[in-house]
Structure 1
């Protein structure tokens, strides 16, 4: 068993496999353990033995009006991981969909008022972000990939805003010292994100008629998410 568990919440197998490879590469953990919550619950693994968790993205939305039992179970399991991080028993990094789950859990509001289409976006670190061990070395700003329909309306209670952007203000926050949440995708390289575009071509994250131009933009981008993930194991003492 490794010290970190990648938690997958993507129904699409090709996107899930690619995301796992991306996290393993950027974390520097080639044999990164994996749990697919759409196929197995937390109880199927010794999840409380892990020191760290990284939670990938998903086409699910916390604001979905109708949720099947699978999605409801996924969200309950993600909240259990967040609870463990809040106690300091483990360190967790939630990305994209996960920030919505954590925001709602903390009593914050999740909204569809700040969507971002596929893009390489420049986000600004806050004063607290520049002092954070995970984000600080990238101060004063980072370039990251975003693509989402919902987001936190504002920083939820007890959370510290680490990164922001004018048209989507809550890009990353920390709760306590062990729970992190990002709206963006830190694990995706330009090629990773271009490959993901093919899977979600008709899912509303970009205009399909502009596929070629959007792909060129993605492939020509330079992003810093790998730097952030490369520092995550050090939070665990690895």
Structure 2
């Protein structure tokens, strides 16, 4: 642990959804507000000194997609993708395994697509998952991982995405998989993590997020109540335990 705070990096244009996602991360990790700061990457470029100021980074979801045609991406999306690559690249090229120093990162949902592409992996529209709970299975390596190793070997997590990966990038270690999307979590080195599922929200918070993106094509808008009922009935305790392990390992003392 360190005295430096963690940073939640917002990549959602919808400020209400971003504020709620920040609170979900903070609550899941059981951190005080001063131990998890927030930077709105949609509206402000990444500061030059982030690696000096923060011990680790949490990247949430976004309505953006890495696989959006470049011609359709506006300047904000292109800039924030580059800024996220800067964070991930800085972590991946940091001190070697076992050094105990250097920044850490957890990239989720949209974030995993950015990291996968940066590392030379393929992100495509071939592995979408419906909005709601899915079954996640730890690999043998996942069962030995410092953050995921204490979780149940098979657990439920919440997803809602239009793109994904079939295999991990060349330098990554697959930690968790699923039937609909084979790459659910991986690690690069010992400080860079990426998950396709959302590890931070409670089921109630997830349904509130669903309401914001009701018309964005993640599910049929008229089926909101049906999907929300399925979400609220799920038990998603394990992903938050992974985040708490991240906070203990890399967050402020």
Query: Structure 2 length normalisation: TM-score?
Result: 0.91
For residues 119 and 52 of structure 2, the distance between their equivalents in structure 1, rounded to whole angstroms, comes to 21
For residues 164 and 139 of structure 2, the distance between their equivalents in structure 1, rounded to whole angstroms, comes to 18
Aligned residue among 73, 77, 93 for 2:79:
73
CA contact (8 A) 1:99 1:152 kept: no
Shift of 1:211: 1.1
> Does 1:225 pair with 2:239?
yes
For residues 40 and 208 of structure 1, the distance between their equivalents in structure 2, rounded to whole angstroms, comes to 32
Structure 1 gaps, min length 5: none
For residues 84 and 180 of structure 2, the distance between their equivalents in structure 1, rounded to whole angstroms, comes to 27
For residues 30 and 235 of structure 1, the distance between their equivalents in structure 2, rounded to whole angstroms, comes to 16
For residues 10 and 231 of structure 1, the distance between their equivalents in structure 2, rounded to whole angstroms, comes to 25
Shift of 1:85: 1.2
For residues 52 and 184 of structure 2, the distance between their equivalents in structure 1, rounded to whole angstroms, comes to 28
**How many residues matched?**
238
Moved over 6 A (4+): none
Corresponding position of 2:45 = 41
Q: For 1:112-151, what aligned pairs fall within 5 Å after superposition?
A: 112-151=125-164
Corresponding position of 1:25 = 27
Corresponding position of 1:104 = 117
Corresponding position of 1:196 = 209
Structure 2 gaps, min length 5: 96-101
Corresponding position of 1:58 = 62
SS of match in other structure, 2:150? helix
Aligned residue among 162, 187, 192 for 1:174:
187
Higher relative contact order (CA 8 A, sep 6+): 2
SS of match in other structure, 1:20? helix
CA contact (8 A) 2:51 2:103 kept: no
CA contact (8 A) 2:17 2:212 kept: yes
Deviates more, 1:154-163 or 1:40-49: 40-49
SS of match in other structure, 2:47? helix
Corresponding position of 1:94 = 107
For residues 108 and 148 of structure 2, the distance between their equivalents in structure 1, rounded to whole angstroms, comes to 14
Corresponding position of 2:98 = none
The CA RMSD measured in Å over matched residues stands at: 1.4
